[in-house]
A and B are shown apart, each in its own frame.
Chain A
Amino acid sequence: MDKLTDSIINKIKKEKISPAPKWIFLAKDYSIWTLFIMAIIIGGLAFAVILFLLTNNDWDIYKHLDKSFGEYLLLSLPYFWIIFLGLFSIVALYNYKYTKKGYRRSPHLIVGVNILASVVIGTVFFYAGLGLKIENIFADNFPYYRNFTQHKLNVWNNPERGLLSGVITKADNKDSFILKDFKGRMWEIQAGGAFWGRRVIFQKGERIKIIGKKKSNSIFSARQIRPWINRGRGIWKNSDRGKDMLMKETRRRRVVNSERAQAN
């Protein structure tokens, strides 16, 4: 027997070294794969919110804000979620590289496939309404997140520039109804001849966005009426129109205002 081989085998025997059980390696492999799949699913959720925010952004109103389309685009991009998606793509790449044959694939390919998977899963999530749900959960529970999402509320609380949003509080007559904006002010909306968006339902509690002209401190003349949430309500389609969600929006606005007041 070779001297070196002998010493290795003797050491194994003397120290009673034995192969680690298979289940330890299997558990490690499964953990890595589970984390990889979770990273893709979380990436998918991030993409669902990106899609929700982008499809619900009103890309044609930049002129009301005296901005170019480029400026408006830069203001509207959901950076928080784009970073989130990027972050979890890196987590997925890191996990995949630690799978048994993960090193055989190019990192670019892994990131590409991972983002593609997140896009496909995210699109499904978006149509199921998860984009809206997650956005609401974050906005309700993470004060810091609200700073990222104030853009839409700020844009649509500009009666001087012809942009107004809020909740319909009295819906007797489609040509003239009462709206409570997200700051809590009451408006009489004159909507005779206004264009109503396809997804708007004229009913009490409906959240809407209005393009038009401020006539006085309590009267607003509407030219176009759009739903607050255009796409991506998914399975929460009905509950979203309900009072709970509307209350939440108003409460969220109140919290933001009180935080701002405290900060000042």
Chain B
Amino acid sequence: MFKNKDCEGKSDEELVRLALKNQDYYYCLVSRWENKILRYILKISSATKEDAEDILQDAFISAYKSLNDFDRNLKFSSWIYRIARNKTISFWRKSKIRPKTVSSDDDLELFKLVSGDDDLAKELEKKCDSRQIKNILKNLKEKYREILILKFLEEKSYREISDILKKPMGTVATLLSRAKKKFKKEAMKQGIEFKNL
């Protein structure tokens, strides 16, 4: 029986190499990333928890099949986020439903982080409720919402976002800057004032 301690002290990339020789090591990678990836799928999709788990399973199995294609210069996390994102997009297409906004807890968190100012964020929290924030995010284009989630909720670097979305870093920076502006603009439209805009 494979034990958790067999995974300890090993990097993701090392585990990929080991998993190619011994299937059991793939357990380490799955257990290490499943919760984060599941939350990410839920944030960017309209899937139910059960659907999200199916997407997650599909993503990890696809990743396992393509393990020999894993680029060692890439972070495993970026790779598995990318696969999960592609599987989620396929799910949207199959079920013909658009992605929803993020969950209420995440809404507030995202709002605080995008505003980039603690005092301002507190003020905003007082001024608007979760429903308003949800509306702001709902009115943002998918590409802006997605990049805000990766940057502020998943705390990914520009390089990682570039690897996940398969876009050049310059495009990521531009997209993020636009997303922040759109976010603030949409908030103002809904009557929430940003003094520092």
**A interface list, Cβ under 8 A from B:** 1-2, 4-5, 7-9, 11-13, 17-22, 24-25, 100-101, 103-106
B66: contacting residue among A4, A13, A25, CB under 8 A: A25
B27 at the interface (CB under 8 A from A): yes
Nearest neighbor of B165 in chain A, beta-carbon distance? A103
Binds A, one of B88-96, B105-113, B167-175: B167-175
Question: How far does the alpha carbon of A42 sit from the alpha carbon of B166 in the complex, in Å?
Answer: 28
Q: In this assembly, does B183 line the interface, its C-beta being within 8 Å of a C-beta of chain A?
A: no
> Looking across the interface, which residue of chain B has its beta carbon closest to that of A100?
B71
Q: Is B40 an interface residue (CB 8 A)?
A: no
Q: Are B27 and A104 in contact (CB under 8 A)?
A: no
> A4-B53, A25-B69 given as contacts; is B168 within 8 A of A106 (CB)?
yes
Known: A20-B66, A106-B168, A106-B170. A1 touches B38 (CB 8 A): no
Known A-B contacts A103-B162, A103-B166, A104-B168; the reply to A12 vs B26 at CB < 8 A is: yes
CB distance from A11 to the nearest CB of B (A): 7
Main secondary structure of the interface of B (DSSP, over half): helix
Q: How far is the CB of A99 from chain B (nearest CB, A)?
A: 11
Any chain A CB within 8 A of the CB of B23? yes
30 A-B contact pairs sorted by A residue (CB < 8 Å): A1-B2, A1-B27, A2-B34, A4-B34, A4-B38, A4-B56, A5-B31, A8-B56, A9-B26, A9-B27, A11-B61, A12-B26, A12-B61, A12-B64, A17-B61, A17-B65, A19-B20, A20-B68, A22-B69, A24-B68, A25-B66, A101-B73, A103-B162, A103-B166, A103-B167, A104-B162, A104-B168, A105-B168, A106-B170, A106-B171
Distance between A1 CB and nearest chain B CB, rounded to angstroms? 7
Chain B residue contacts of A20, Cβ below 8 A: 65-66, 68-69
Give min CB distance, A76 to chain B, whole Å.
38
B30 interface residue (CB < 8 Å to A): yes
User: Which of B20, B30, B166 has the most chain A CB atoms closer than 10 A to its own CB?
Assistant: B30
Q: Find out whether the CB atom of A7 lies under 8 angstroms from the CB atom of B57.
A: yes
Which residues of the partner chain A approach B53 to less than 8 Å between Cβ atoms? 4
For the complex with contacts A9-B27, A9-B30, A12-B23, 17 further pairs of A-B residues with Cβ separation under 8 Å are: A1-B31, A2-B31, A4-B34, A4-B38, A4-B57, A7-B57, A13-B23, A17-B61, A17-B64, A19-B20, A19-B64, A20-B66, A21-B68, A100-B71, A104-B162, A104-B169, A105-B168
- Cβ–Cβ contact B67 & A8, under 8 A: no
Within B1-58, the residues touching A (CB, 8 Å) are: 2, 20, 23, 26-27, 30-31, 34, 38, 53, 56-57
| B67-82 at interface with A (beta carbon < 8 Å) | 67-69, 71, 73
Q: For B168, what are the chain A residues with a Cβ–Cβ distance below 8 Å?
A: 103-106
Binary flags per residue of B185-196, CB closer than 8 Å to A gives 1, else 0 = 000000000000
Contacts of B38 in A (CB 8 A): 4
Partner of B30, one of A5, A17, A106: A5
Most central of B2, B60, B162, B167 by chain A CB within 10 Å = B60
C-alpha spacing A9/B73, complex, angstroms: 26
Which 9 residue pairs of A and B lie closest in terms of their CB atoms, listed nearest first? A103-B166, A19-B67, A25-B69, A22-B68, A5-B31, A5-B30, A106-B168, A8-B60, A19-B68
Residues of A close to B67: CB separation below 8 A: 19
Find residues 143-189 in chain B having any chain A CB closer than 8 Å to their own CB: 162, 166-171
Which residue of A is nearest B71, CB measured?
A100
Bound together, the chains give a CA A13 to CA B22 distance in angstroms of 12
A2 to B162, CA, bound (A): 31
Assembled-state Cα–Cα distance A21/B68 (Å): 7
Using Cβ atoms and an 8 Å threshold, which residues of chain B touch A12?
A: 23, 26, 61, 64
- Closest Cβ of chain A to B172, distance in Å, is 10
On chain A, the residues within 8 Å of B27 by CB distance are 1, 5, 9
- The complex places the Cα of A5 from the Cα of B23 at a distance, in Å, of 13
